[in-house]
Structure 1
Amino acid sequence: MSLSLDRSSQSVLYGGAAVAAVAAAGYYVWTTYVRRPSCPVTPHVIPRHIPLIGDVARALHAADLDDNVRDFEKLQASSICFRLPGQGWVVATVCPSNAQWILRTNFENYPKGQEFHDILEDFLGDGIFSTDGEIWRLHRKRAAPMFSLTMLRDFMFGVFKEHTETLMGILGEAAEEERVVDIYSLLSRFTLECIGEIGFGSEMGCLESEASEFLSAFDRANELTELRGWNPLWRVTRWLPFVFGPERQLRKDIQALDRLSLSIVRKRREEMMRGEEKAALQHEKESEKSSETRLLSLTAEAEQAPTSLETSSSAAVSTRAHSPFFSRRLATGSDSSQGCEQMSSEGSASSVTRSEAEGEDGGVRSEGEEAEGMRGQHSSGAGGGREILRDLRESKKNSRSDGALSFPDFSEMPPVQPPHPLSLLSSGSQAATVSPPRRDFLSLFMAADPHMSDKQLRDMVLNFLIAGKDTMSQALSWALYELMQHPEDVQRAREEVRSAMREAGGELDFQATRSKLPFVTAVIHETLRLHPSVPRILKRALGDDTLPDGTFVPAGSIAVVCAHTMGRLASVWGEDAKKFRPSRWLEFEKLPPSHKFVAFQAGPRECLGRHMAMLEMTVALASLLDHFDFLPAEEEGRLGSVQVRSGLTLAMKNGMRVRVVKAEK
């Protein structure tokens, strides 16, 4: 009997294993040969058709950016595909029409995806860079006003100029000492210092010193997070009781970032609370002083007039009882000027959240109730008299030319909603006197929504740091890389900078920087065409789709817009596509569409900070060209050691060592 049961169990076990094997084989055949994209597969690499191993070989081959360019040129295709182990099919495209379809037209079908969010969550939390859907939309609305013209002109431009001067000093010392400099590392520290002050309102302390805990932790966390994308087992190693290897180091770096960034958040929150208390106290003192002065004046008038102070006070009460503004103020128990101040400091922007502000139903009290309440205040002595005179002053302040009373003029504010702190940055705003003392993103987010948690604030700011640090430093580094090989472009750009400076009287202001340097701007655009900071834009297809070039994209596939490859193909940019030629941008009547020049992406997720990025790079590059020449540090005078490190951004694997020489004036 026992033997029979054993044989029966074995049969069930073997049968189950056979069914599982058949199901797995069927799934592989279905997803590989039936439900597959209708575009050419990447060229075969050894080993060719071996399942899984062949997929790994193809994936590694496709990861090389130069190989990717050669594959598209060899196949003469606008889209190609390959399988990524553990991820399914990858559809890579270089067709501008496909890019427009994925990034704009059919945007909702191509989010970043849950896998992307999970990989980045430990590092960036639920920030704008790692989320989709409503959470991303909320972040986008909150952040959009941060990149207004006012912020660029009155805040960011000054930050860029200040840190650029520090950068010039460091390079000047290197030139005098004939020291070799890793310009890639230095520019990385420069951009972190800039975006750190704009984001946190604090100096990161990494430009003049390489020994920065924040910089080290930030860079390592970024690199180790990228490694997760190539390791399908990262979740397993992350949750093991004894974490080891990259995940262990990543955990330590994230803990360091949390400690440093949250300390800044909490310190800023305390500063803002102290500032609000100080402002409220100062306002109260000024109001009392003004009321006492007015009281003495009215008392002197009352001694000469036949009407008593009490009669005058009663008349004031009667007048105020007909003022709707005063009725609301009395019912809510707060001073009118304090109400405006509270709205200015606590409101959220309509342009950011587009949510209705929570109003307060103050009610309307009858004339008799108001008069009775005021008699009680008046009988309390001098304090009541000051209240009466304050209300008289407010009634006069808010009266129209025809003598009738009305609400204060809130014409600059959207109906029902209080103003966002960014609206207070305008010198013409009525509430300019209560504008926040800081304009960094952290302070503005706090003022816009006091209920944001410390972690939410940390996530928001770190997302902007990662978006603004590496992309800008890499673009500037690649610009110098190209310019070192094209001295004629260096000379033309330098002459343009110096001519603009002479015209401006010695120093370029905000407007001149934006409008008087077309060739410097062209150098930046040409650099981003050949060396886009984000070489691949990855999306996940929610449903089956067909691209404009006819390529079928199965649901669940990864769709990749190959920005780096697009910039180097003759089919997109002409026969000289691989040549660095900034003057091509001066030949255009207008900039190419964003789905062709995808350096800043396109569609709803187009880079919010693109104008800030262009301003920062223009300020820095103009100063670099005006002050210095850069020469390769290698003895043979070539840049052969500069290599690309494949990842989410176009990093230089081993940096870029240069000799700095002061430019002739």
Structure 2
Amino acid sequence: MMNVLAFVGLPLLLLLIPIIAFLIKIYSGKSINNPKYPPVLGTVFHQLLYFNRLYDHQTEAARKHSTFRLLAPGQSQIYTTDLQNIEHVLKTNFDKYAKGECNQDVFRDLFGTGIFAVDGDKWRQQRKVASFEFSTRVLRDFSCTVFRRNAIKLVRKVEEYSQANQVFDMQDLLMRSSLESIFKVGFGVDLNCIEGEGQGSSKEKSIMFMKAFDDSNELTYWRYVDPFWTLKRYFNIGSEASLRKNIKIIHDFVDKLITARRKQLDSDVKSEKEDILSRFIRESKKDPETMTDEYLRDIILNFVLAGKDSSANTLSWFFYMLCKNPLVREKLDREIEEVFGNLKEKASSSVEDCIASITDEVLQKMFYLHATLTETLRLYPAVPIDGRVAETDDVLPDGFKVKKGDGVYYMSYAMGRMPYIWGDDAEEFRPERWLKDGIFTPESPFKFTAFHAGPRICLGKDFAYRQMKIVSIALLHFFRFKLSDDSKKVTYKIMFTLHISGGLHLTAVSRRN
């Protein structure tokens, strides 16, 4: 009998030892009951219990505690909606906070050493080149030409759905359009993926890339709540096997793109390419040991994340909110008619000529459109949560202590719903909150954090707004949209960026009828 117990007990003991060690690592040295540190609301692994509604759970927690902690195997993860804390981390004490090794371990496989994943010299180098490029008139004009061209494609595609009285996924269509735009502006490549699934090898590969990129985004985020992800990666099983497969598709696609662009530039050295990749390749010749093809690939993937997801996600939520708020849609229709002109006035114009007339002057006058897009971002930020890791011990402005290695995260999704930030109507979709005497009036970037803030504030903010305005004017000018099922609950998918789960299924009615 004792032998049987020993036989059963030994494996159980061997199993319990690492579990106990893991729990000790989570709970020890965290000053749990010390009021000088933020209150503890659980561990990072408790997030599994409400993972599918994670950002709403964080919102509920933030209503009770503007700053709180979740315990992790390393240090604590601090979450805050306090505006002074956010400015302290992102600007005032910028040099004392970094991406952190823990975060970099999570997303290094997908984003490598790109601008969103690194600190120090690599970040400064990429920021310097990108900052210069985004400030040039050439890139601005080139990008607007690309945005208009893809807006024409969108109108043509939606027209097909409208004539067939067919339900379509607006989010998928916008994702394809944004992907085309970022690849043309960023890398000088025509993907031609708006028209449909496609059978041609080029179109097929671009659709595969987009799916692999979105799946990798989701699978990478899952690592934050999966305590066994490093083990699964080592054995190449489960979610980590899927992630590795998707990353290979992504890397193969981008590597071929870089090789082709290098050959084009080498064969035509006098050619002035307008895309960002060409300029980074020229920069790489000054320091070939550092700026390898792998480094360029990482840069590209970071720009894809910023350029595709931010605009497409925001526009998806924008059209959803217009369907749910018809009075806002009517005000937008009036502004478009007043500034851009109505269909009767443009009856003799082709779609191409009509969209070509969406000039900078038109965009600058669209204050209500700008406010509506911004209100969408307030409630549905492209990146719902972001933050930094403390390089040294610190004290936040709200008085709570931070230990070296603690993560400090600001919750943009929750912030948009906080009455103590936006007033009692914080959860209402009200674009008018951004207007003063009819003119758009911005808020502090530490209050409206959709484009980050401080030295790392998004360089592509103005580009994103231009793209979103051109696309929204074009589509709203030609169509009226309706949810295919108004009773269906629309919610988000848990990723680094705020996708609509399951897509946004609409019907479109032509306004030319």
In which range does the TM-score fall when normalised by the shorter chain? 0.7 to 0.9
Q: 646, 649, 656: which is aligned to 2:494? A: 646
Q: Distance in 2 between matches of 1:570 and 1:534?
A: 21
Give the superposition deviation at 1:546: 1.2
Tell me the C-alpha RMSD between the 2 structures.
Answer: 2.7
Contact 2:100–2:405, Cα closer than 8 Å, also in 1: no
Structure 1 residues 224 and 589, CA, compared in 2 at 3 Å: closer, same or farther?
closer
Task: Give the aligned partner of residue 62 of structure 2.
Answer: 72
Structure 1 residues 124 and 532, CA, compared in 2 at 3 Å: closer, same or farther?
same
Give the superposition deviation at 1:245: 1.8
Structure 1 residues 21 and 633, CA, compared in 2 at 3 Å: closer, same or farther?
closer
Q: 487, 500, 503: which is aligned to 1:655? A: 503
Task: Give the aligned partner of residue 603 of structure 1.
Answer: 454
Task: Give the aligned partner of residue 372 of structure 1.
Answer: none
Residue 490 of structure 1 pairs with residue 490 of structure 2: no
Residue 57 of structure 1 pairs with residue 46 of structure 2: yes
Residue 197 of structure 1 pairs with residue 184 of structure 2: yes
Q: Distance in 1 between matches of 2:389 and 2:143?
A: 35
Contact 1:531–1:564, Cα closer than 8 Å, also in 2: yes
Matches within 5 A, 1:26-45: 28-33=27-32, 38-42=37-41
Unpaired runs of 5+ in structure 2?
1-12, 198-203, 347-353
Q: Distance in 2 between matches of 1:478 and 1:227?
A: 23
Matches within 5 A, 1:302-381: none
Q: 541, 546, 556: which is aligned to 2:390? A: 541
Paired AA for residue 29 in structure 2 = W
Q: Distance in 2 between matches of 1:270 and 1:519?
A: 46
- Pairs aligned (count): 473
Give the superposition deviation at 1:23: 12
Task: Give the aligned partner of residue 295 of structure 2.
Answer: 456
SS of the equivalent of 1:652 reads coil
Residue 83 of structure 1 pairs with residue 78 of structure 2: no
SS of the equivalent of 1:66 reads helix
Residue 622 of structure 1 pairs with residue 461 of structure 2: no
Structure 1 residues 227 and 542, CA, compared in 2 at 3 Å: closer, same or farther?
same
Contact 2:451–2:458, Cα closer than 8 Å, also in 1: yes
Give the superposition deviation at 1:25: 5.2
Bigger drift between 210-219 and 606-615 goes to 210-219
Residue 268 of structure 1 pairs with residue 261 of structure 2: yes
Q: 153, 157, 161: which is aligned to 2:140? A: 153
Paired AA for residue 413 in structure 2 = H
Task: Give the aligned partner of residue 389 of structure 1.
Answer: none
Q: Distance in 1 between matches of 2:196 and 2:217?
A: 20
Give the superposition deviation at 1:663: 2.5
Q: Distance in 2 between matches of 1:233 and 1:142?
A: 38
Task: Give the aligned partner of residue 482 of structure 2.
Answer: 631
Bigger drift between 252-261 and 99-108 goes to 252-261
Matches within 5 A, 1:58-457: 60-61=49-50, 64-73=54-63, 75=64, 77-84=65-72, 86-210=73-197, 211=204, 212-240=207-235, 243-276=236-269, 434=270, 436-450=271-285, 451=288, 452-457=291-296
Q: 360, 366, 376: which is aligned to 1:527? A: 376
SS of the equivalent of 2:430 reads coil
SS of the equivalent of 1:483 reads helix
Structure 1 residues 92 and 25, CA, compared in 2 at 3 Å: closer, same or farther?
closer
Paired AA for residue 242 in structure 2 = Q
Task: Give the aligned partner of residue 6 of structure 2.
Answer: none
Q: Distance in 2 between matches of 1:178 and 1:23?
A: 56
TM-score for the superposition, normalised by structure 2: 0.86
Q: Distance in 2 between matches of 1:219 and 1:141?
A: 28
Paired AA for residue 437 in structure 1 = E
Task: Give the aligned partner of residue 426 of structure 1.
Answer: none
Q: Distance in 2 between matches of 1:596 and 1:216?
A: 33
SS of the equivalent of 2:189 reads coil
Q: Distance in 1 between matches of 2:26 and 2:505?
A: 51
Contact 2:340–2:358, Cα closer than 8 Å, also in 1: no
Give the superposition deviation at 1:273: 1.3
Give the superposition deviation at 1:476: 0.3
TM-score for the superposition, normalised by structure 1: 0.67
Give the superposition deviation at 1:152: 4.6
SS of the equivalent of 2:405 reads coil
Q: Deviations over 1:364-422 (max 9, x none)?
A: xxxxxxxxxxxxxxxxxxxxxxxxxxxxxxxxxxxxxxxxxxxxxxxxxxxxxxxxxxx
Q: Deviations over 1:88-140 (max 9, x none)?
A: 32211111111111111111222111122222222222111111112111111
Paired AA for residue 304 in structure 2 = L
Paired AA for residue 506 in structure 2 = V
Q: Distance in 2 between matches of 1:508 and 1:149?
A: 22
Give the superposition deviation at 1:141: 0.7
Q: Which has the larger radius of gyration?
A: 1
Paired AA for residue 187 in structure 1 = L
SS of the equivalent of 1:30 reads coil
Instruction: Give percent identity, aligned residues only.
Output: 32
Give the superposition deviation at 1:579: 0.6
SS of the equivalent of 1:645 reads coil
Q: Distance in 2 between matches of 1:445 and 1:589?
A: 35
Q: Distance in 2 between matches of 1:221 and 1:36?
A: 39
Structure 1 residues 254 and 64, CA, compared in 2 at 3 Å: closer, same or farther?
closer
SS of the equivalent of 2:274 reads coil
Q: Distance in 1 between matches of 2:108 and 2:511?
A: 46
Q: Distance in 2 between matches of 1:27 and 1:656?
A: 40
Q: Distance in 1 between matches of 2:282 and 2:325?
A: 48
Structure 1 residues 27 and 456, CA, compared in 2 at 3 Å: closer, same or farther?
closer
Paired AA for residue 203 in structure 1 = D
Q: Distance in 2 between matches of 1:27 and 1:491?
A: 53
Task: Give the aligned partner of residue 321 of structure 1.
Answer: none
Structure 1 residues 624 and 25, CA, compared in 2 at 3 Å: closer, same or farther?
closer
Structure 1 residues 561 and 55, CA, compared in 2 at 3 Å: closer, same or farther?
closer
Paired AA for residue 442 in structure 2 = L
Contact 2:217–2:495, Cα closer than 8 Å, also in 1: no
Q: Distance in 2 between matches of 1:548 and 1:510?
A: 44
Q: Deviations over 1:248-274 (max 9, x none)?
A: 222222222222211111111111111
Task: Give the aligned partner of residue 511 of structure 1.
Answer: 360
Give the superposition deviation at 1:60: 4.0
Contact 1:226–1:648, Cα closer than 8 Å, also in 2: yes
Q: Deviations over 1:1-25 (max 9, x none)?
A: xxxxxxxxxxxxx9xx99x989985
Paired AA for residue 451 in structure 2 = F
Task: Give the aligned partner of residue 307 of structure 2.
Answer: 468
Q: Distance in 2 between matches of 1:443 and 1:29?
A: 51
Task: Give the aligned partner of residue 315 of structure 1.
Answer: none
Contact 2:32–2:39, Cα closer than 8 Å, also in 1: no
Contact 1:569–1:577, Cα closer than 8 Å, also in 2: yes
Q: Deviations over 1:301-326 (max 9, x none)?
A: xxxxxxxxxxxxxxxxxxxxxxxxxx
Unpaired runs of 5+ in structure 1?
1-13, 45-53, 277-433
Q: Deviations over 1:71-100 (max 9, x none)?
A: 222x2x32122223x243221111111111
Residue 593 of structure 1 pairs with residue 444 of structure 2: yes
Give the superposition deviation at 1:196: 1.2
Contact 1:59–1:83, Cα closer than 8 Å, also in 2: no
Contact 1:59–1:82, Cα closer than 8 Å, also in 2: no
Structure 1 residues 232 and 104, CA, compared in 2 at 3 Å: closer, same or farther?
same
Q: Distance in 2 between matches of 1:437 and 1:534?
A: 34
